[in-house]
Each structure stands twice: as C-alpha cells, then as structure tokens.
Amino acid sequence: MPLSSLFVCQDPHFLRIFQDVLRDLEIGLESCRTIGEARRLLAQRKFDAVLIECDPAQENLLVLKSLRHFLHNRNSIALVITRNRPEIAAARKCGAHFIIESPLVLPRVATTLRAAKNLMHRERRLSLRRSIRKLVSFTRDNKEHFDALILDLSPTGIAIRTQHTQFTKSQPVRLRFLLPATDSAIEVHGHVVWADDHGRTGISFTSVHESSAGQLDAWLREHRRWMQKATPQLKAKLMQSGSEPVEATVLDLTDGEMAIRCTERLQAGSLVEVQLLSSRLTECLPTPAKVVWAHHTGAAGISFLNQSPELERIIKLWTH
C-alpha cells in the first residue's frame, strides 16, 4: 500500500512545493487548513506522516500534541515547517521528528522528505501486526455469537475466518472477543474493508473501547516478543513478468489457495509466480498462481494453478 501523508497548511505556496516533492517520492498527500479538519481526518484513517505548517500562534502544533490520541496515527512521522527560533523550540517540544525551516529551499525539503520516507517504511516494518491463527469466540452487535479463526490482529484491525456468519464490504460492525490465552475482553467498533468467498474478512477498527486499547497493545507486544523466539512466519514472494518481486505475509493457507498481505496493491485477475519462504523450508520452487481478488489495503486472495507435491507438503506442514 502506498505511503500517505496529511499536511495541515494555510500557505498555498508551501502546499505546491510539498505536493511536487511528495509526488516525486510517491507519497500520497491530503491537505487541510484547520485543526478541526485535521482531527477529523486523523480519526478516520491512517497517515504514515503528518506535516504541519507552524502558524504565528502555534495553534497548528496542537495537532501534533494530540497525535497519540488517534489510534491509527499515534506512530506517524511528524514534520513541522517553522519560521523562527521560538517555533523551532515549540516543534521540538511537541515531538517533531523533522523540522524544515522557512524560507523553503527545494533541495533541503527533498532531502528531509527522503529521510522521513525511510522512517515511514521503518515504522511500517515495526508494526505490531502479527499472524496468530487462534480460534476465538466472538460476539457481534451484542447478539450473535460465533467462533472464528484469527488470521491477523493489530491495534487498528483484525482479519478472521469463519463459516458461521457472513460479512459484507463496508458493513459497520461491533465485536467483542477474548484475546487468546487471556481473560481480557476486547470491545471494538469497525467496518468491513474486505471479504472473500472462503469466509475470510478484514475489519478496520474505527474505535476501541478505552479499557481495551491498553490490553490489546500490551498483548500484541508480548506476542511480538514470543514470535521473535518462535517459528518464523510464513512469507511469500510474488513475481510478475517485467515487475520487481513483491514480498507478502501469508495470512491463511488452505488446499489450493491462500490469503496474503503485502505492501503493494495487486491486480485481480493477474497471473503471478509464487514462492513460499520460511526457515523451516528448503528452497521452494515458484508455483504459477492467479490473483482472485485484491484490496487497496494490500490484502489479496491467491489461487494456485498447479499444485505440486512440494506445495501439498508445505500446505500440510502449515495446516496441521
């Protein structure tokens, strides 16, 4: 999924400069003029970076101070444009990762944004998201109870597989579930961002109950430490003619197909060569496959076109 940024800015000249540089760096940009607009956008979606033009009253810095309160954006990389020493000091106090001094010098802006881009990629890699594959009981909208396999879990969303209930894309949901191996009940509101024909569903959290957020973060951190000592996650490399290989995490692997998450959006219907990767495996030969469905979050469904004995062995190893 492409990197994205939010720019809180009132100066159209600043906006034009950053639009050009961010476009060259292939970082998406959404801009707004007011603190209220910025907070609304931060509450709705995730941004890898937040850029702020420091105004004379330093009110825009309130956005930076409040970043930790936005579930999706508490770890966003923060850049502040300043005009004088007091603004520089205030930006540093608010936790800015980068400070760009005005008047703007294009090469310096480009250098700073390239450095920020590296940090954005690093922050994505350090995401607490981990595949866990645990069967858990859920309560949906306070009335429907069902069991589902957790395929993926992070502070901002969950992927599950179940044959007991159906979800539709964009559907609002309210879920309650116990974190695996704990008595900690997690209550969330969210909406369905993708769903396939095999009972798998991806849900983005729009809000997490105050008492649940800390428990979820703590559990993910502990699970992350455990995962570093345990068996590595199954990965995949997807190759297409004329394109660079795309690395992906395998969310679910069953007979003949799998669900993955990668950093780039795939095209539904495209043909790929898939190579499964893990320290538990010997060198695995690429297998021809087809992208059955794809979502802009990077989630996708892959169907194998030729299931070799080697692939059958890997599926058996990971599903038993």
3-state secondary structure 180-238: CCCCCEEEEEEEEEEECCCCEEEEEEEEECHHHHHHHHHHHHHHHHHHHHCCCCCEEEE
Cα 257 → chain centroid: 23
Above pLDDT 70, what percent of the chain?
Answer: 88
Strand partners, 299: 261
Q: Tokens for 140?
A: 């949906």
Phi, psi (degrees; rounded to nearest 5) at 307? -95, 100
- What is the CATH code for 134-229? 2.40.10.220
CATH number of 3-125: 3.40.50.2300
Query: Measured between alpha carbons, how far is 104 from 111 in angstroms, rounded to an integer?
Result: 12
pLDDT tens, residue by residue, 72-109: 788 889 999 999 999 999 998 888 889 999 999 999 89
For the chain, residues classed under CATH 3.40.50.2300 are 3-125
Which residues of 40-84 form beta strands (DSSP E)? 49-53, 77-82
Determine the residue type at 129: R
Q: Does domain 235-319 have CATH number 2.40.10.220?
A: yes
**Residue intervals in the chain for CATH 2.40.10.220:** 134-229, 235-319
Phi and psi torsions of 261, nearest 5°:
-135, 130
pLDDT digits (tens, 9 = 90+) for 229-271: 544 567 889 998 878 888 888 887 776 788 888 878 788 889 9
Say what the pLDDT of residue 27 is. Answer: 94
- Assign 120 a pLDDT band (cuts: 50, 70, 90): confident
Please enumerate in sequence order all residues whose Cβ is within 8 A of that of 275, keeping only pairs 6 or more positions apart, or say none.
236, 237, 239, 284, 285, 286, 287
pTM: 0.46
Exposure letters 242-280 (e unless 16+ CB within 10 A, then b):
eeeebebbbbbbeeebbbbbbeebbeeeeebebbbbbee
